[in-house]
Amino acid sequence: MKILEISDLEVQELVSREEARQQSTLSMLASENIQTKNSLLAQSSLFANKTLEGYPGKRFHAGGQLADQLELLCIDRAKALFGCQYANVQAHSGSQANHIVYNALLAPGDAVLALSLDAGGHLSHGAKVNQTSALYRFQHYGVDDGDLIDYAQIQELADRHQPKIILCGGSSYTREIDFSAIADIANSVGAYLFVDMAHFAGQVAAGRYSNPLEYADIATTTLYKSLAGPRGAIILAQSSDIGARIDRSLFPGYQGTPSINNIAAKAICLHEASTQEFKSYIDLSISLAKQLCFTLKNRGLELVTDGTDTSMVLVDLRQQMISGKQASDLLERCGIIVNHNVAPNDTRSVMEGSAVRLSTNVMARRRIKDDNAQIIFDIIADVFISLIQEKPFDFKAASETVAHICQRHPVASVLSIEHIEPELSVVA
């Protein structure tokens, strides 16, 4: 089935090939999901033709009354879903949203305390290769011997550097964060608490992860990861003063016209995330992640943090002779799409990494569970073991098995959030 019919044959061929690739392989990338049909349709609506600048009621272009209503609806849904007093829904990406927050709350050279990249942070949290580190004075906290956030170190660094912002959240930390503890530290030094919840916002929306906005001054999230929505981000806060500063930072500070059709898709995503069906999808994704942890540990493999509280799993290869890149390449030969990652205190380069990051979000959306899920997890374990032990592996048979399971659970059949059955949890 063609999702898109277009007259440009070159583009149509690539679209068709990409559809075939997604249907026959399984994405276990933590930064991917399956966007719902209604959200996709909203992105292709005639709101795509509308150009505006500014905010509802204060635009620089005429003809925006309906776009104003749409943006206000999206804002109301964001505030209701995450229990906050302020929302800006115009940000084009998560990294851009983070830059907008820094610009709103900091002066160049101000200190920021954030989780280090190897411990699970993100490039936009002051990595040396990111522009944020050139503008602000980032200090990074890490994890303890169990790969869990070192809260004592946060307090020590906060006392020493007196940061204006303490930032938590990231891209590869698999455990629930103690926002209350970090809020106490932030209060002790007069810092803002800023949470980047891009990877666990779906769990927060479903009530399966502590809501950071009960403690934080400000939070950002993308919508295309666990929320299964469109590209783009939202910025949330509890203070109208912070909200006013965010609004000025975004426009005219960082962006001109917002993507109104994308705001329509965001509004749909935020509504879908409030449903019982969405909660059931989140429950299934967490259950599958714990089942994956159990399988890998039972086969003798190690995990960063020894498990997960979310839908993300990080396989630990620090004590092995193989790199994350080698493992991810071989998993791709089986039709299982993952990414290699750095691990805490990694001695390998970021291009090789000592970890593999996996997510069960797409599995849950495609309703791959029970015996079929176990078959996938056994293949993943087999690939790691064969690579570690330098034993031959039948990639052709594995890829055929994965493709067969994927064909029984096609992407096209889950373009709706509906009819996802609840799943019992599996203890890892």
Q: Is 329 helix (H, G, I), strand (E, B) or coil?
A: helix
Domain chopping of the chain, boundaries: 40-272, 276-414
- Convert the pLDDT of each residue in 115-169 to its tens digit: 998 988 988 888 888 888 889 999 999 999 999 999 999 999 999 999 999 999 9
Q: Is the pLDDT of residue 424 over 70?
A: no
- Convert the pLDDT of each residue in 218-264 to its tens digit: 999 999 999 999 999 999 999 999 999 999 999 999 999 999 999 99
Q: In Å, what is the CA distance from 226 to each residue of 221, 265, 421?
A: 10, 15, 17
Helix axes 65-82, 260-272, angle to 10 degrees: 30
- Convert the pLDDT of each residue in 69-112 to its tens digit: 999 999 999 999 999 999 999 999 999 999 999 999 999 999 99
pLDDT at 230: 97
Looking up tokens 């909200």 gives 243
- Residue 62: phi, psi to the nearest 5? -80, 170
Confidence of residue 33 (pLDDT cuts 50, 70, 90): very high
Binding residues: 117, 121-123
Torsion, Cα 392 397 403 406, to 10 degrees, reads: -80
List, in sequence order, the alpha helices (H) in 198-248.
201-205, 240-248
Q: What percent of the chain has pLDDT over 90?
A: 87
Mean per-residue pLDDT, 178-194: 98
Q: Is the pLDDT of residue 2 over 70?
A: no
- Tell me the C-alpha distance between 294 and 300, whole Å: 10
The angle formed by the CA atoms of residues 141, 253 and 265, to the nearest 5 degrees, is: 85
pLDDT at 131: 87
Q: Six-digit token pair at 362?
A: 């797409």
Binding residues for (6S)-5,6,7,8-tetrahydrofolate: 117, 121-123
- Residue 14: phi, psi to the nearest 5? -65, -40
Q: Is the pLDDT of residue 422 over 70?
A: no
40-272 in CATH: which number? 3.40.640.10
Q: What is the mean pLDDT of the chain?
A: 94
Q: Is the pLDDT of residue 421 over 90?
A: no
- Convert the pLDDT of each residue in 307-320 to its tens digit: 999 999 999 999 99
pLDDT at 5: 66
Other Cβ atoms within 10 Å of 412 Cβ, number: 13
Helix axes 395-408, 370-389, angle to 10 degrees: 160
Looking up tokens 């005639």 gives 46
Q: Can you give the length of the chain in residues? A: 428
CA-wise closest residue to 411 among 16, 23, 1: 23
Q: Is 56 helix (H, G, I), strand (E, B) or coil?
A: coil
Pick the CATH number of 276-414 from 3.20.20.70, 3.90.1150.10, 3.90.226.10, 3.40.1190.20: 3.90.1150.10
